[in-house]
Amino acid sequence: MTPARITLHDKTFEINIPERQILQAIEIIAARISSDYAGKQPLFLAILNGAFMFAADLLKEVSIPCEVSFLRVSSYQDMHSTGQVSEIIGLKEEIKDRHIIILEDIVDTGHTVYALLQNLISRLPASIEIAALLLKPECQQHPLQVKYIGKAIPNEFVVGYGLDYNGLGRNLRHIYKLV
């Protein structure tokens, strides 16, 4: 789907970051990771549901041997973070002594990724970094180092490219913001 304006539920959104820009940002991240992790066979842990499209496009551009797995945590309802992160669901891999790269669609308050980090660090990985397609710098409430960032955006609600508004919009190829 490629319309310039879309309506999801009760809200109208317009294109904010076109697909071509998203893919360019992802290529840069993939090149950095391929060089930083040469010889390390990293394990990507992509956070569902939002990061599925980011993970798919990023992994296609990573040129070194790597593994990927998907897990789920949940903290968002409607258009506001609830600030509560429930347990990790779906992590079957042994991460001890592995080089872990968390793939997140967007870091907003940082609650989700911070809680996930603490949990994963307790399992003693060899290293752990975060790659986020989008970052809302004004909203970060935790001391987080996001090593790989696709694009910093202002504090606006966005949908598309994996991101939803109450379930809708994940299939859109561009990123849209509220009109």
Residue closer to Mg ion (CB basis): 33 or 53: 53
CA atoms within 13 A on the CB side of 52: 13
Supply the minimum distance, in Å, between the C-beta of residue 107 and ligand 5GP: 5
Supply the minimum distance, in Å, between the C-beta of residue 120 and ligand 5GP: 15
Per-residue interface string for the shown chain with Mg ion, residues 79-118, x marking contact by CB under 5 A: --------------------------x-------------
> Within a 10 A sphere around the Cβ of 138, how many other Cβ atoms?
10
Q: Identify the CA nearest to 114 among candidates 99, 90, 125, 130.
A: 130
Q: Which residue is nearest to Mg ion (CB)?
A: 50
> For 35, phi and psi rounded to 5 degrees?
-80, -45
Tokens of 134: 């989008």
Please report how the helices 19-36 and 52-61 are oriented relative to each other, as an axis angle in degrees rounded to 10. 60
50 binds Mg ion (CB under 5 A): yes
36 in catalytic set: no
Supply the minimum distance, in Å, between the C-beta of residue 132 and Mg ion: 10
- Provide the binding-site residues for ligand 5GP, judged by CB under 6 A: 50, 75-76, 81, 104-112, 157-159, 163-165
**How deeply is 75 buried, as exposed, middle or buried, from its count of CB atoms within 10 A (0-12, 13-18, 19+)?**
middle
* Contact range with Mg ion by CB under 5 A, out of 47-55, 64-72, 152-160, 169-177: 47-55
- Determine which one of 57, 97, 108, 164 is catalytic: 108
Residue 148 to residue 127: CA distance in whole angstroms: 14
Supply the minimum distance, in Å, between the C-beta of residue 4 and ligand 5GP: 19
**Residue 89 near residue 117 (C-beta atoms within 8 A):** no
Q: Which does 119 bind (CB under 5 to 8 A by kind): ligand 5GP, Mg ion, none?
A: none
Residue closer to ligand 5GP (CB basis): 148 or 165: 165
Catalytic positions, written as ranges: 108
